[in-house]
């Protein structure tokens, strides 16, 4: 009897150690790997229940040899659940139910951890979309427009002296527009993976062509430039997509809180 109890205790401690290790594995597993880990746990728990039932079963018999006459008291009648294999079946079912609850708790915890990780990655992606694509792109477009409206050819005075002075100012401020255009081109070439879900690179094609040709036409003056004017509809498009990303970002932040 003492041997059986000791064996049962060792099996119990080994089981607890396995459960802790498996819980950590399942928490780190993702997708199909997590499903496979949970199925493996279920099989392992059934095998543990069967092994524990075997350990709990009596494995020794006691033989008494005596020359004296023994008087045995009447044997107490046992209930049906105390006879035959029912005690072992009851032990096995208890372990299976207990372990099933443990597996369920592990699954719920791993699911929550996985969903929390997905939300965090979504927040990081939306934040990068704002900070690395839409915000700087919108700022550069607005700066260029302000410079062009305030110092560009359309703002030149009609008198000769004023026109000459304004042209000199425009010559210098145009350099800033060219610098900003280079940054716009870099964003459109390297950050398109941060586009909003309903956005596409095709919407920025004319802008990309414009910033490329604008620099060329500073060196070669030609009427062909009229074919590559700045697309006036690009700013409303950027504003619209930025608002969509911003709304999704605030919604994701609210879900995380």
Residues 163-188 have pLDDT tens digits of 889 999 999 999 999 999 999 999 99
200 sits in the region (left: phi over 0; alpha: psi -120 to 50; else beta) called: beta
| Report for 7-11, 67-71, 134-138, 217-221: range of highest mean pLDDT | 134-138
pLDDT tens-digit map of 116-138: 778 889 999 999 999 999 999 99
Q: Report the share of the chain in percent with pLDDT over 70.
A: 64
Query: For position 9, what pLDDT does the model report?
Result: 54
The pLDDT value recorded for residue 20 is 60
Comparing 42-51, 98-107, 140-149, 229-238, the range with the smallest average pLDDT is 42-51
Query: What's the pLDDT tens digit per position in 188-216?
Result: 999 999 999 999 999 999 999 999 888 88
In angstroms, rounded to a whole number, what is the distance separating the alpha carbons of residues 41 and 35? 10
- Could you report the per-residue pLDDT of 4-48, keeping only the tens digit for each? 445 555 555 555 555 565 555 555 555 555 666 666 666 665 565
Distance separating alpha carbons of residues 253 and 134, to the nearest angstrom: 19
pLDDT at 90: 72
The average pLDDT across 150-155 equals: 90
Instruction: Report how far Cα 122 is from the mean position of its chain's Cα atoms.
Output: 6
Of 119, 124, 137, 120, the closest CA to residue 192 belongs to: 137
Which pLDDT does position 217 carry in this prediction? 84
In this predicted structure, the answer to whether residue 105 has a pLDDT above a threshold of 60 is yes
């Amino acid at each position: 009897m003492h041997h059986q109890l000791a064996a049962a205790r060792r099996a119990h401690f080994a089981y607890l150690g396995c459960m802790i290790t498996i819980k950590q594995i399942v928490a780190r597993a993702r997708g199909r790997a997590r499903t496979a880990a949970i199925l493996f746990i279920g099989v392992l728990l059934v095998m543990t229940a069967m092994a524990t039932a075997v350990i709990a079963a009596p494995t020794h018999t006691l033989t008494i040899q005596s020359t004296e006459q023994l008087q045995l008291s009447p044997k107490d009648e046992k209930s049906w659940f105390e006879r035959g294999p029912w005690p072992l079946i009851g032990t096995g079912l208890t372990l299976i139910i207990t372990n099933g609850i443990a597996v369920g708790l592990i699954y719920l915890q791993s699911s929550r951890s996985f969903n929390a990780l997905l939300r965090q990655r979504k927040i990081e992606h939306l934040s990068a979309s704002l900070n690395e694509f839409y915000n700087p792109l919108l700022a550069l477009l607005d700066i260029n427009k302000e410079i062009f409206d305030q110092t560009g050819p359309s703002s030149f005075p009609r008198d000769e002296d004023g026109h000459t002075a304004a042209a000199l100012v425009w010559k210098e401020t145009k350099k800033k527009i060219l610098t900003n255009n280079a940054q716009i081109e870099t964003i459109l070439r390297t950050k398109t993976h941060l586009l909003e879900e309903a956005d596409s690179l095709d919407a920025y094609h004319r802008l990309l062509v414009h910033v490329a040709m604008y620099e060329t036409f500073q060196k070669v003056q030609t009427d062909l430039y009229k074919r590559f004017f700045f697309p006036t509809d690009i700013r409303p498009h950027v504003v619209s997509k930025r608002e969509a990303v911003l709304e999704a970002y605030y919604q994701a932040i609210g879900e995380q809180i």
